[in-house]
Structure 1
């Protein structure tokens, strides 16, 4: 299993795809366009999550920016979504250690931050924390130079099922 496939959180995978797309290291030309404006387009989502991303490409990512709303990839999946809920929040950081070159991180998350300790080059982390599911120890120790602050909507337990990994 590739390191990209080992990332079990759909939003973390999407953040990686967005970073590679912005760096022009990934062609999304074959991804089907959204067919619905007011909901998650599963065909588009699953095509993005099923992309083959090499470990070398993952290691080359130096900045990951996945905030609560406004990402082009989010609007490609759900055109009328504007950050009003936690649909695109990263709920699990498992697998982020494959981003060995990561130096700067901006993330909307309610995940345990412990995996960030495995990123040796990480210099800056701006985390928009949702809810209170992050253990205090992980918040304190994730990275002393990073900033952790709560901003944005509270997680909605009814929304989490919207993004799923393809089978």
Structure 2
């Protein structure tokens, strides 16, 4: 399987092959979250392969060109749902879900926007060229900084302080 990055204890990778799915199942992963965009091939095939390995499959397309609050909230609720844990997330390269996890973790702890990018890099993923994600993060911080300092996401269901 390709390289697995982790953020907040959640594994993130590119698209797993059959061997990768076997490895994930053997490690006890319960839920596989596919964040590839709609135009990317193999969604139905991946659902069947995940089921063969006893993994629940959830599809949450994360747009490369535009992110909105509904996408982020659905991602957050799914990934942080204790009933779905442990979760493994994949996309074509893993950058978008990694960036979103870092954003949620940092905003949840009241950390600055700079920490989001530092955390992503320390987790093995530079999100500098993920423009839609960067714009979403910048806009969110601009609009919500006082609430972020009061740990906005830590008050949301499913968030556990790391």
TM-score range, shorter chain: 0.3 to 0.5
Q: Structure 2 length normalisation: TM-score?
A: 0.33
Q: Structure 1 length normalisation: TM-score?
A: 0.32
